[in-house]
Chains A and B, each alone.
Chain A
């Protein structure tokens, strides 16, 4: 059965995110840094009346920082907290069938934790990622 996926670009790559994990898509304004926190935590931002923790996706994937700071983010809700996962750009929401990763494919370091399958868009395979894997400091990872 096809599921809805949001197609986004992270660190120059197209990724698909299962729509259940996406609460909303926003433009992040001022980000207040959190001194002492890990590199993945870019800081805190106000979103309406909520405070969201902004996750630097490139850092979370173990990639070097980008030259230009992205401002678009996907809001996801994990274990009682809201996180803004920074993305380069967003495309569309469309239904796809989730396929398992082809046998023998070994993802690169940062991607391995988050990649959970792939979808096929017009013949182009797109890696689906689990946003929860990008959020640092969780007590338990839900399977």
Chain B
């Protein structure tokens, strides 16, 4: 029984961790069926397990949540913020109870009734997530202790060394082939084992990132800020231990960004920024490091206030602080006990400052870099060395010694003396030309201070931030996958090594830091400082679109942003009434657009489309996928429900014309008066007959005479007419008879140019 319970606890914990991101995503897109299903499965599993493990409280909670989610799944309830919050509170409580069971601690069950009550439709009780943070039981039953992995790892290396020695002795004494074959097999197994054991320590950085969406949401909610989180590179692998060490600093920086960096929505509005703050967390491997970048678009660091705060504290004198370089001023945030916040909030005023963050990062051999753009944002880059990361390396020999170079920085390796390779001296500076590409040449032996033995025969072209250079080495040895550890400070201080390793030879080997060698050799590369790149990336999202099968069997696309939700409807809810197809919904009747046959079906899926004011339904057979909308659109030959066709993986897919759909079908809401389009001049009859339906379809009220309390949003007239003075200064759109403009001085629209006309009207009406 105990085993079952342990398994249940471990499983629930892992699912909870994986789930926290799902829940947030679900909240953002309540129609996301997959997310909903994932959460449903979780509570369902918990409920099922509780039954036979005899955990009545968990059973009650999960049962209640399951009921509600089931209702959402069947479409009888709509997931609103309140419901999401209530479900979140239950999920939280399940986590707390599970931790309490594991710790064997008692937990009072007060408030659980409230949590369940909050799920009810129309409940006014706001479910409060439990305030106390559950204490985690430090030992994880299903996970291996890192110590154990370490011991495995070191045992493994010993085994490799022993194998090597055995091989050497056998070679020296000339063993018979059968023994050699056995040794060969042993070698293979050992190599494979070593690989496996090493990889057991690696973990995707996702383990660190998956908790962020929830945290960002909660922190933002606490402070009344909305923050959009953008994450990247969650599949970068890092040593498990490093992930644990990075957890606190990352959490702290993210919370700091939301609290200190990102302004309140009203402040942001006033500054002309988007109301939603943007936070981007990205991980990538770069050369010999893993870089985790946290950038926000908040107010950045105000060094003046920082200095003022420190002066007020009396820790440093103002003169001393003012004399610091800009960089040093920024780094004052790492000093103990500094806060520029006037008021201490629950989020950041906890006595743990950036000094602790930096100490934590430095403890694992990392460093923190800040790029500050006052008023625009702050980017914090945490550089972590490749501690225990496995990297592919190339061994090079120089001065009778071997060094490793990370494969990642190597662009190519060429032999000196080949046709396309030249080495020339510019003054006393050597330069390499590799296939018309000129680059600085650095002699590795000379840089490391070895005596010149013979001419370097190989050039290793390496890329470093800012450019590339050729590293001349006497010999390139082999390729090896190595576990790199940071070297002692006395070694690192040389600036040319990135770490040390113990390869199969049993002799320690140093990993070269190619950027450091370039610096040591005095190479000058213009270092680009791209402050905004991460932010820009986040700000230019590509347009997503929903791919679906329409009722007439054609595959079509519709931009995702316009879809309010997708829902199944019963055929009975659709009726042809008052001249058009309409769909009964929970809040009344909306126009329904159908292309194809729908009467024979039992149920339909309906896209609820919303342009901000009007809402229409669009019946489809099946939603297929969310895709990125290609930039190239071949426009449709005629105006209609199809805007054009795009190529999606070689397939021609039609794109719905939202403009047309809303123009034709969008029911204007009654509480909003349609803009008035005043027709004036000689051709009123033509305009009334021909243009009125078009204009009304586009949402204008067409009038030839204004009512007393009305003002015209736009005036439509023929080219030749003069506009009467009574127009009240409304913008005028002029039409002309000829397809080509005869008089270029005046902006006119050809009267049968439907799109041009509507566009001109919309621009004019909108400008008022």
Q: Which residues of A contact B (CB under 8 A)?
A: 30, 32-38, 40-41, 43-46, 48-51, 53, 79-81, 83, 135-139
Contact = CB atoms under 8 A, between A and B. Distances in A.
B517 to A, nearest CB: 10
A44 to B, nearest CB: 4
Nearest to B450: A35
A46 B448 contact: no
Given A41-B490, A46-B508, A35 B161 contact: no
B722 interface: no
A34 B494 CA distance: 9
A36 B507 contact: no
B158 interface: yes
Contacts of B490: 37-38, 40-41, 53, 135-137
Contact of B491 (A37, A48, A80): A37
A103 B125 CA distance: 76
B141 interface: no
A46 B165 CA distance: 14
Contacts of A51: 485, 487, 500-502, 508
B731 interface: no
Contacts of B156: 49
B492 interface: yes
B450 A32 contact: no
B157 interface: yes
B509 A41 contact: no
Contact of A44 (B362, B399, B510, B520): B510
B429 interface: no
A36 B494 contact: yes
B450 A49 contact: no
The SS class assigned to the B binding surface is: mixed
B700 interface: no
B555 to A, nearest CB: 59
Given A35-B399, A35-B449, A49-B154, A137 B488 contact: yes
Nearest to B403: A35
Interface string B466-509: 00000000000000000001111111111011001110001111
Interface string B506-535: 111110000000001000000000000000
B145 interface: no
B315 interface: no
B401 interface: yes
Contacts of B491: 34, 37, 41, 44, 53, 137
Contacts of A53: 487-488, 490-491
A44 B511 CA distance: 13
B509 A36 contact: no
B448 A83 contact: no
A83 to B, nearest CB: 7
Contacts of A34: 491, 494, 497, 510
Interface residues of B, number: 36
B161 A81 contact: no
A68 B719 CA distance: 107
Contacts of B494: 34, 36-37
Given A37-B490, A53-B487, A79-B489, A46 B502 contact: yes
Nearest to A34: B491
A35 B502 CA distance: 17
A46 B492 CA distance: 18
B500 A44 contact: yes
Nearest to A83: B488
Contacts of B155: 49
Ranked 6 nearest A-B pairs via Cβ: A49-B157, A137-B489, A35-B448, A137-B490, A44-B508, A53-B488
A139 B507 CA distance: 27
Choose among B448, B491, B497 the residue with the greatest number of A CB atoms under 10 Å from its CB: B491
Q: At the interface, is chain A mostly helix, strand, loop or mixed?
A: loop
Interface in B391-417: 399, 401
A37 B488 CA distance: 11
B493 A33 contact: no
Nearest to A138: B489
A32 B508 contact: yes
Interface in B147-180: 153-158, 161
Given A33-B401, A36-B448, A51-B501, A81 B488 contact: yes
Nearest to B516: A36
Most buried by A among B488, B502, B510: B488
Given A36-B496, A50-B154, 12 more contacts: A32-B401, A34-B510, A35-B399, A36-B520, A37-B493, A46-B161, A48-B157, A51-B487, A51-B508, A53-B487, A81-B486, A138-B489
A48 B154 contact: yes
A37 B494 CA distance: 6
Interface in B427-453: 448-450
B449 A32 contact: no
Nearest to B497: A34
A125 B343 CA distance: 60
Nearest to B492: A137
A53 B502 CA distance: 12
B450 A46 contact: no
Nearest to A53: B488
A46 to B, nearest CB: 5
Contacts of A137: 488-493
A83 B506 CA distance: 18
B376 to A, nearest CB: 33
A49 B493 contact: no
Contacts of B161: 46, 48-49
A16 to B, nearest CB: 24
Given A49-B161, A51-B485, A51-B501, A36 B449 contact: yes
B489 A45 contact: no
Interface string B352-395: 00000000001101000000000000000000000000000000
Nearest to A40: B490
A135 B487 CA distance: 13
Nearest to B505: A46
A135 B488 CA distance: 10
Nearest to B494: A36
B164 to A, nearest CB: 11
B113 to A, nearest CB: 51
13 contacts: A32-B508, A32-B509, A33-B401, A34-B491, A34-B494, A34-B510, A35-B449, A36-B496, A36-B520, A51-B508, A81-B487, A138-B489, A139-B489
A48 B156 CA distance: 11
A139 B492 CA distance: 12
Contact of B489 (A33, A43, A81): A81
With a 10 A CB-CB cut-off, give which of B448, B496, B502 has the most chain A CB atoms.
B502
A80 B670 CA distance: 72
Interface string B547-585: 000000000000000000000000000000000000000
A34 B500 CA distance: 10
A137 B493 CA distance: 7
B366 to A, nearest CB: 12
A105 B278 CA distance: 64
Contact of A48 (B158, B363, B449, B510): B158
A15 B377 CA distance: 57
Interface string B314-334: 000000000000000000000
A38 B365 CA distance: 20
A50 B486 CA distance: 12
Nearest to B402: A32
Contacts of B365: 80
Nearest to B448: A35
